[in-house]
Amino acid sequence: MTKFKWLVLPGAVMATCLICSSHPKAYAIAQQAPEYTPGQGGWDQPPAEYRDVQRKGFHDGIEAARKDFDHHRRADADDHDDYRHPHVDSAMRDEYRDGFRHGYDIAMHHLWEQSGNR
């Protein structure tokens, strides 16, 4: 029975390492708390102080995260054309990207939690 314990423990450690290394940002996303305050709406609602372009980025970021999660892709907002080349006026690109990244991170956190990977 003692030999069995020594076989199980390294296997469990190896499995944990493989899971964490397969999604490098998954652990960081799972540790982030979503910025949500009661009375503000659901988790997928942008903050009330966001301007229109930030709201658009926020919603686009949520959709991008859902697609990445559903297709088991690496969690990275920077990988999306909408983030890199937003279809907004050049003066508003930073605001759009800020909203996109925030929506993406919140959605990934929510989806990760809902999938039981806490």
21 phi, psi to nearest 5 deg: -80, -20
HEC-encoded secondary structure of 31-59: HCCCCCCCCCCCCCCCCCCCCHHHHHHHH
**Distance between CA atoms of residues 96 and 84, nearest Å:** 10
User: Which residue reads 């301007």 in tokens?
Assistant: 51
Q: How does residue 3 score in pLDDT terms, banded at 50, 70 and 90?
A: low
User: Based on the structure, what is the number of domains in the chain?
Assistant: 1
Look up the pTM and report it.
0.64
Residue 9, pLDDT above cutoff 60: no
Domain boundaries, position 94: 2-114
Task: Read off the pLDDT of residues 54-106 as tens digits, 9 standing for 90 and up.
Answer: 999 999 999 999 999 998 888 899 889 999 999 999 999 999 999 999 999 99
Distance between start and end Cα atoms, the chain: 32
Q: How many Cα atoms within 13 Å fall on the side-chain side of residue 4? A: 1
Cα angle vertex 43, ends 105, 68, to 5°?
A: 40
